A and B are shown apart, each in its own frame.
Chain A
Amino acid sequence: MTACQRVLVVGAGLGGLRVAESLRSNGFAGDLVVAGDEPWAPYNRPPLSKEALAGGVAHEQLAFRQRSSAADVEWRLGDPAVSVDLADRTAELERSGTLEWDALVVATGVAARRLPVAGPVPSPASGRHVVRTLDDASGLRPELLPGRRIVILGAGFIGCEVASTAVAHGCTVTCVALDPEPMVRPLGTVLGAELRRRHEEHGVEFRLGTGVAALHGDPRVSAVELADGSAVDCDLVVEALGSVPSTGLLDGQGLDLDDGVLADGALRPLRGGQPLDGVAVVGDVARIPNPRFGDGAWRVEHWSIPTDTGRRAGAVLAAHLAGTGYDDLVQAPWSFLPAFWSDQYDIRLQSYGMPGLADPDGIRILEGDLSDEVVVGYHRGEELVGVVGLGMLKQVNAYRDRVGSPPS
């Protein structure tokens, strides 16, 4: 390996940080540049819809501690890559111009999906919020005042966590979603219905199974018109409609960008079915195989994914650049266990595996009581593919290593 090699990481979130640390711990000593669009060093996003939204949003409290091995990483913050050329091995950064690279890491993450209907221009000033970045949360936080009427569009985890936080601030909250129950896609109807019951107990009103026809108000949103013709008056809306993978940089270069960047088990993007050496995809923009859950490739937005994929990608790229041990490493089986948690009111929800893969009739209570604390098992056939607890952390944790087909 020569010291003049350069790795460029596009995306300065948790995945970008972890891959940089992994490159260093796997012996890469060359230039390491991490470029991101936000002005902030990598920070922890989950609190943005929970305690940081409730108690105040400060980067110093959310910033990730960085390993000393990565102290010499060159951070180009607020200087995102605007184009990448996989053939020439170059990238164009918005402020600092053209950069050549020997290896590239795509860690661009996802962006909040916006509601594609007529209405005021999406911005905090018009009362249309999303919760993806620290600046988003900073914009929403001062709007959470007692008596404010908030309509949350979408009933996934972010929507439900914001609902919980907003109710605690004395806001009046209505949650509108196409789904039949909150969080139904990952958790199924049984747990979804129980979580709805708990939200309703705290005063959240749900309008489920209905879409949104339009947002009204000028310049600020004042009402949400539903597809059934009814309207909900509001002072602000939070669009919690999931996310869109940020793959625009890679358009037109032969990669499979259908729902994230398709990559192999060494996190190398595939072009015509063949992996590209010297390029890696990490975090929730990656659509990757996970033999622990059988054949297939999935894009997983759980908090654990940037760390798992960042470590793997750093090892693979370091071996590629050093020219030693690469073939063995990329062929070695690799799998991971997705994990996430959610805090809503006094409930801690902990999930392991991929509960969304369960058969519709494969969701069963393993321990506890659904109306109190409970462990729910998610089965595909006889296989436990996910386990979710409300409370009962010790019991949930005891199932963790049985989820999927753990590596032997």
Chain B
Amino acid sequence: MTFKVVVDRDLCQDHGQCVFAAPDVFQLDDDGALVVLLDEADDALRSSVEDAADVCPVQAISIRD
């Protein structure tokens, strides 16, 4: 099973807290802007992406099945 990682770019302010929670999915580039490495992720990453969604200060991350 996989799920979709959705980042609302209108909300995202590049806080980068998701990077600590799910480094396989989120990264900051050299300018400090968020890069989503996987638009679709395996269930093994679900828990870490849920954590990333929890710690996003602007609640820009969601998961879609």
Could you tell me if B59 and A393 are in contact, using CB atoms closer than 8 angstroms? no
C-alpha gap A400/B20 in the complex (Å): 10
Known: A397-B28, A400-B20. A303 touches B54 (CB 8 A): no
Q: Does A64 contact B (CB under 8 A)?
A: yes
Could you tell me if B54 and A46 are in contact, using CB atoms closer than 8 angstroms? no
Could you tell me if A393 and B54 are in contact, using CB atoms closer than 8 angstroms? no
Could you tell me if B32 and A46 are in contact, using CB atoms closer than 8 angstroms? no
Could you tell me if A67 and B50 are in contact, using CB atoms closer than 8 angstroms? yes
Residues from chain B with a CB closer than 8 A to the CB of A304 are 55
Q: Does B53 contact A (CB under 8 A)?
A: yes
Could you tell me if A46 and B57 are in contact, using CB atoms closer than 8 angstroms? yes
Known: A393-B32, A394-B32, A397-B19. A65 touches B14 (CB 8 A): no
Q: Does B17 contact A (CB under 8 A)?
A: yes
A27 CB to closest chain B CB (Å) equals 15
Q: Does B4 contact A (CB under 8 A)?
A: no
Interface string of B38-65 (1 = CB under 8 A from A): 0000000000001001110111001000
Residues from chain B with a CB closer than 8 A to the CB of A18 are 54
Could you tell me if B62 and A65 are in contact, using CB atoms closer than 8 angstroms? yes
Interface string of A153-186 (1 = CB under 8 A from B): 0000000000000000000000000000000000
Could you tell me if A307 and B54 are in contact, using CB atoms closer than 8 angstroms? yes
Q: Does A388 contact B (CB under 8 A)?
A: no
C-alpha gap A303/B55 in the complex (Å): 9
Interface string of A343-363 (1 = CB under 8 A from B): 000001010000000000000
Interface string of A7-19 (1 = CB under 8 A from B): 0000000000010
C-alpha gap A350/B14 in the complex (Å): 12
Chain A interface residue bracket vs B? 10 to 19
Could you tell me if A307 and B20 are in contact, using CB atoms closer than 8 angstroms? no
B54 CB to closest chain A CB (Å) equals 6
C-alpha gap A10/B28 in the complex (Å): 38
Chain A residue with Cβ nearest B61: A65
Residues from chain B with a CB closer than 8 A to the CB of A75 are none
Residues from chain A with a CB closer than 8 A to the CB of B14 are 393
Interface residues of B in 10-28 (CB under 8 A from A): 13-17, 19-20, 28
B3 CB to closest chain A CB (Å) equals 12
B58 CB to closest chain A CB (Å) equals 8
Interface residues of A in 46-69 (CB under 8 A from B): 46-47, 64-65, 67
Could you tell me if A44 and B32 are in contact, using CB atoms closer than 8 angstroms? no
Known: A339-B17, A397-B16, A397-B19. A64 touches B32 (CB 8 A): no
Known: A65-B62, A393-B14, A393-B32. A303 touches B20 (CB 8 A): no
C-alpha gap A46/B58 in the complex (Å): 9
Chain B residue with Cβ nearest A67: B50
Could you tell me if B28 and A393 are in contact, using CB atoms closer than 8 angstroms? yes
Residues from chain A with a CB closer than 8 A to the CB of B62 are 65
23 residue pairs A–B, Cβ–Cβ below 8 Å:
A44-B57, A44-B58, A44-B59, A46-B57, A47-B58, A65-B59, A65-B62, A67-B50, A303-B57, A304-B55, A307-B54, A307-B55, A339-B17, A341-B15, A393-B14, A393-B15, A394-B16, A394-B28, A394-B30, A394-B32, A397-B16, A397-B20, A397-B28
With A46-B57, A64-B59, A307-B54 given, name 12 new contacts (CB 8 A): A18-B54, A44-B57, A44-B58, A47-B58, A65-B59, A393-B14, A393-B16, A393-B28, A394-B28, A394-B30, A397-B20, A397-B28
Q: Which residues of B contact A (CB under 8 A)?
A: 13-17, 19-20, 28, 30, 32, 50, 53-55, 57-59, 62
The 3 closest A-B pairs by CB, nearest first: A393-B32, A394-B32, A307-B54
